[in-house]
Chain A
Amino acid sequence: MDLGGDSGRLYFYDPINYLKNYSLYNILPFGTGLVEPHFYNLPIVILLIGMKSILQSSYLLISIFNSIKLVVAFFAVYGIAKELIDKKSNNKYFSMLREISSMFAGLFYIFSPRMIGNWDKALLSHDQVFLNPLMFYLVLKYFLTYNIRYLLVGLIISFIFAANFAWASAPPFFAFYPLSLLFILFYTSLIRRKKLPWKGIIAGLLIFVGLHSFHLIPAIVSLFDPGSNTNTRVFNNEDIAHQLDYFFGVLPLAKVSLNILSFSPIKELGWTSIMVPLVVILGFLLNRGRNKTILLTGLFFLIILFLLSAKITDLGIELYKGLFYIPGFTMFRNFIGQWLFVFSFFYALLFGLAIFNLFGKLKSRSLITAMTFLIGITIIISAWPFINGEFVNKTHFQSNNVKIAMVMDPKYEETLTFIRSLPDDGKILTLPFTDCCFQVIHGTNNGAYVGVSTIGYLTGKKDFAGYANIAPFSEVFLKLAQEKDYKSIRQMLGLLNIQYIFHNKDPRIYDATFPGYPYNHVRKYLPNDQKGYSEFVKHLTSNKVFERGPYSIFALDKDIYLPHFYIATELVLYTNTVNDWYGKTMSFFVNEKDFDIRTAYIEEETCRRVFPKQECNQKIIYDKNNLPIIQFEKINPTKYKVKVANAKGHYYLIFSEAFHRNWKVFIPKDESPLPESRHLVVNGYANAWSITPQDAGEKENYELIVEMTDQRIFYVSLALSIIVFSGCVLWGVILFVKGSRSDIIRRSND
């Protein structure tokens, strides 16, 4: 099975745990637990759970999913082309030509060189391969027939594959749907002279919003949440300049000629690349009647070719540059990748329409048969490396011939089960450490998984698998590792709430097998081989709690470990001297390592915002010995219950989870949370709340609820989506029953 890369496809491997740990909550299940709504894959993961329970095999699941993508894409393009091809000439001969041309459109769409190259590690967004033509077909049929069933089917499909209609899929969505809808509008009203079903369109849009509210509403809230990733990306004015830099970085790769020619991945067949554009131009040349469909398709093809190539004269580049000042257009900075699918779709339709024009003018049937054979064979042979599986059985980047398709090691599955059984508290450090956030697991074959860490996604225990994950301690960790300062490393792990070390000592995932990616940078600081890593772990702890094959889990000593929630013994002020997220903690950690283990570090800027000015002039702001005792319980990743005992004075509650202003503390019987002015960032990343006896009504023993309030928005919007979805299903059933009944009446009348 190919479980993907950067973003992983672990939903194919273990959809139930993926759902429990990732899809249901807006907290990322790795690293410090950043807040990011990603609910959009909920319906598809539920569908995959159903399919997996029947098939029992991830390999079969992936294969069936890929087959569905190919088959539906083919039939949808075939159906669209058949609908678009002129029906006036309705004799048997032309009907046959229409069938052949439509089939060629479908065949060219799924086997065109642009469409076959990205099926390995395909993410959910790749479903646009079949969703684009399918949705186009359903909308087109609805506009032409006014049959509400097409609309309903389209809406339900959009709900199941919500990931392709979510904020995260905005570039492919906005690349395809606005232009396609415009095409359908022009085609229906100008060519077919049909009235547009405006009522149905408006109702459809409203139902669409209702169905998708479970991911759209949280995404919109995140959009308007100052400081969120989405907010920074959309509203940052400085960003346009950066996006333009990106655009000019991609520009040299854009080639108008390569897009027009259909260049086969088989070098020996390079000469056949002229076939498709030749047929298209001949189709235009032989379009002697008043068939405007091919002209409209041609116009859209040219518009998209411009958007895909950008290099239509220098004036065209300037015009393209200007488009980036349209709000939101910056999402197309990687224009080649974003417009590719839309281009292939319109090219396929144009090809089908042109073939029909060409064949329609040919008098000789034997010539048509010969050409059909020739074109068909060329398309299929050109795509042979895709058909025989070579294109999806690739070798890992910079690896020593390790394949991407792997068979999961049962011993690793046992390790995951053990991790799930560990107590809720305590995060994991995953070794060997990687550059970003990846984990490498070798299969029982010559294949390996190189992707996002499986521990976080599949066990719910947050782990730190790479440099980006461990921010803002990334630079500190590498420096300490290089200096072999194990005592400070242990202290740093404590600050990050890391209680366990997972070491995969399989030499096939490090040493000489993966000499480069994904370890390029960190290898300079950390051990160079697995033997060195074993030594490294020995210096940190010797308490091995689990071992199966090459997989070992070690527990760190309790004396340096800081739980997920703790009460700070002192608050130490520091000045941030490193203006870099990955090295931010350098400002206090390395130099201040002699403070008490439960010290919380607070940045001077935060101090001045929260405390009176004179307090921020001293190094230690708060120092107490008479502190309360706490116990806590995880209800789910977004909600914790904290029991406080013996609270006699003011104290600071530290929560070692990435700071977010919507982490709130509720004191029961009080509906409103503690005010935001008492919520501060400590240790460079974590949440802290200043709690006074007055907050708890002068009680000494009480309970706190710590909750990510954004999650509540999801629950409400999910309820709305479920109501609308149930309504749609019910409506569908009624339509189906009515349809069947009228069919029966019609048949009995006949």
Chain B
Amino acid sequence: MIKKILNSAYGKKSVLWLKDNKPVVLSVIFLGIIADPLFITGNSDIRIFGILGLYITAVFFYKLKSRLTFLFGLVLLGIMYIEFLFTGTSPATEKAAVWLYLFLAIGIIQKLRE
């Protein structure tokens, strides 16, 4: 089914567009991740695993290296740290910490596969 969609003219066009716009796609994913602890209140596993699923797909699609994941982790550490200094162990700090945890896990698994 997925193969059929990808082989269709519309599918091929979409794949091409995604390949051409790698920075845009990754920026959107990453903005989604940053927005979660900074601007969105409340926890949602659907949101977390949805965005994480997109990132994992991007890892396979763009053949991303673990280095990028760890870099993302570094940014998330920065967000967690700043949130912690200003708000203590607030929900936002905790959310950033969970994102950091997930990115570290993905990064380590990626590195083991490289």
Interface residues in chain A, defined as those with a beta carbon under 8 Å from any beta carbon in chain B = 255-258, 260-261, 270-271, 273-274, 277-278, 281-282, 284-285, 287, 292, 295, 298-299, 302, 305-306, 311-315
Contact = CB atoms under 8 A, between A and B. Distances in A.
Given A257-B84, A273-B84, A285 B98 contact: no
B94 A281 contact: no
B77 A311 contact: no
Contact of A314 (B45, B93, B94): B45
B7 interface: no
A313 B45 contact: yes
Interface in B83-113: 83-85, 89, 93-94, 96-98, 100-102, 104-105, 107-108, 111-112
Contacts of A282: 74
B18 to A, nearest CB: 26
Nearest to B96: A257
B81 A312 contact: no
28 contacts: A255-B94, A257-B83, A257-B89, A258-B89, A261-B80, A261-B84, A271-B85, A273-B81, A273-B84, A274-B81, A277-B77, A281-B74, A284-B104, A284-B107, A284-B108, A284-B111, A285-B74, A295-B111, A299-B108, A302-B101, A302-B104, A302-B105, A302-B108, A305-B101, A306-B101, A312-B101, A313-B48, A313-B49
Contact of B94 (A270, A311, A315): A311
Contact of B111 (A260, A287, A305, A314): A287
Nearest to A284: B70
Given A284-B104, A284-B108, A285-B70, A256 B97 contact: yes
B3 to A, nearest CB: 30
Contacts of B94: 255-257, 311
A678 B108 CA distance: 66
- Taking chain B's interface residues, is the majority helix, strand, or loop, or is none over half, making it mixed? helix
A305 B97 CA distance: 11
B112 A292 contact: yes
A261 B101 CA distance: 12
A739 B73 CA distance: 51
Interface of B: 43, 45, 48-49, 66-67, 70-71, 73-74, 77, 80-81, 83-85, 89, 93-94, 96-98, 100-102, 104-105, 107-108, 111-112
A295 to B, nearest CB: 5
Contacts of A277: 77, 100
A287 B43 CA distance: 33
A525 B25 CA distance: 71
A281 to B, nearest CB: 5
A420 to B, nearest CB: 52
A273 B100 CA distance: 15
Given A258-B89, A298-B108, A314-B45, A285 B71 contact: yes
A270 B100 CA distance: 20
A22 to B, nearest CB: 41
A166 to B, nearest CB: 34
Most B C-beta atoms less than 10 A away, residue of A260, A282, A306: A260
Contacts of B83: 257
A261 B43 CA distance: 21
Most A C-beta atoms less than 10 A away, residue of B67, B70, B100, B101: B101
A316 to B, nearest CB: 8
A282 B84 CA distance: 20
Contacts of A274: 77, 81
Given A257-B84, A257-B94, A306-B101, 9 more contacts: A257-B93, A260-B77, A260-B97, A281-B74, A284-B111, A285-B74, A287-B111, A298-B104, A314-B43
B108 A260 contact: no
A311 B77 CA distance: 17
A255 B89 contact: yes
A274 B73 CA distance: 13
Contacts of A298: 104, 108
Contacts of A256: 94, 97-98, 101
A257 B95 CA distance: 9
Nearest to B92: A257
A261 B78 CA distance: 11
A260 B80 contact: yes
A257 B80 contact: yes
A315 B80 contact: no
A69 B5 CA distance: 64
B23 to A, nearest CB: 20
Contacts of A261: 80-81, 84
Nearest to B78: A274
Nearest to A261: B84
A704 to B, nearest CB: 64
Contacts of B70: 281, 284-285
Contacts of A260: 77, 80, 97, 100-101
A270 B67 CA distance: 28
B85 A270 contact: yes
A292 B48 CA distance: 28
- Top 6 nearest A-B pairs by Cβ distance? A257-B97, A256-B97, A285-B70, A255-B89, A257-B93, A274-B81
Contact of B45 (A270, A273, A285, A315): A315
Contact of A285 (B67, B80, B100, B101): B67
A743 B75 CA distance: 56
A292 B66 CA distance: 14
Contacts of B98: 256, 311-313
A298 B80 CA distance: 19
A251 to B, nearest CB: 12
B107 to A, nearest CB: 6
A295 B104 contact: no
B21 to A, nearest CB: 26
A299 B108 CA distance: 7
A281 B48 contact: no
A277 B43 CA distance: 24
Contacts of A314: 43, 45
Nearest to A277: B77
A281 B104 CA distance: 8
Contacts of B111: 284, 287, 295
Contacts of B104: 281, 284, 298, 302
A258 B94 CA distance: 9
A306 B45 CA distance: 16
Contacts of A302: 101, 104-105, 108
Contacts of B71: 285
A282 to B, nearest CB: 8
B22 to A, nearest CB: 21
A165 B104 CA distance: 33
Contacts of A292: 112
A67 B41 CA distance: 48
A221 B96 CA distance: 49
Contacts of B107: 284
Nearest to A258: B89
B63 to A, nearest CB: 17
A260 B76 CA distance: 12
Contacts of B45: 313-315
A29 to B, nearest CB: 44
A273 to B, nearest CB: 7
Contact of B77 (A255, A278, A295): A278
A623 B51 CA distance: 81
Contacts of A284: 66, 70, 73, 104, 107-108, 111
B77 to A, nearest CB: 6
Contacts of B84: 257, 261, 273
Contacts of A281: 70, 73-74, 77, 104
Contacts of B112: 292, 295
